[in-house]
Structure 1
Amino acid sequence: MNKKLSEAVALFEEVIMYGTERIIRSFEHQIFEEYSSEQLQMLQIISKSEHISPGKLASLQGVHKSAISNRYKKLETKGLVTTVDSDEDLRGKLIALTDKGHDVVSMFNEVIYEHVEKIVLDDFQETEIDEFLRIFRKLSTILKTEGDRK
């Protein structure tokens, strides 16, 4: 196994694990009192997908479809998500955000951005941020392409 790649994967996992925990633990914002981190992640995924099947959502969140069903019901009750008919499968239903759901995602993104900005601007040079963006754009393209092949 390539040692550098192995280290990169381990560092990526650490950033995701500790970064998520640090961000969520450090917030005292109303949005984190109203919604769980799993619900907010679900809203983020739906936002990026426009609409998504429950099965794909379960796969992306690494949970069983029953967990998605429970989250969906809670978010639907709050007026954040709705179901829409699938264009490809006449029997299929997809999950989409309502206008209120888009508003919550926008608020969540703003809160996260402000917090990450404080962390990053103090410790990173502009060139390091540019390099980070270049690498993550490339990684994103690779991962999306790989996901489309399956």
Structure 2
Amino acid sequence: MHLQVMYRAAAVLTALTVLTFAPQAQSLPPPAKTVFKCEENGKVIYSDSPCLGAKTVDVEPPRGVSRLSGQERVGSAVQQERLREHIADAMRPLTGMNPKQYETFGRRQKLPADTQRECQRLDGRIPLVEAEERQASGEALVDIQLRLLGLRKRFRELAC
């Protein structure tokens, strides 16, 4: 019951945030914060698309430029992102979610319910298969990497 109240409060605040910032929103998708490091024909390639045997690299896009004078210059997109983080921090006692979790929750609210459930399932499954990959070797490693590639592609297709 308590969890339902938290999700409802988060959904209401997310809706308010979306309505507030929708007119300024860009038509581009949010930048991918997970980058895959792939090796193809002996060359290392970094991509936002998964590949067989990919290693994940978490990246955070830069958030403004500081001048030599020490003043920080940030655009409206960064200001809005910071505001959403402050809202998420303020809602944390109700939702129990950190800003990153809250942003994911808000983004997934636009998805159909069955897609949201599949994203949650993948959230739990991908780290388990990644752990299996770290432990495996030989032929078992290839099988696990194929399974992991399928999960990552599905995660991307669903726009989780």
Do both share a fold (TM > 0.5)?
Answer: no
Greater percentage in strand = 2
Question: If you compute each CA radius of gyration, which structure gives the higher value, 1 or 2?
Answer: 2
Greater percentage in helix = 1
Q: Which has the higher contact order (CA 8 A, sep 6+)?
A: 2
TM-score, length-scaled by structure 2: 0.27
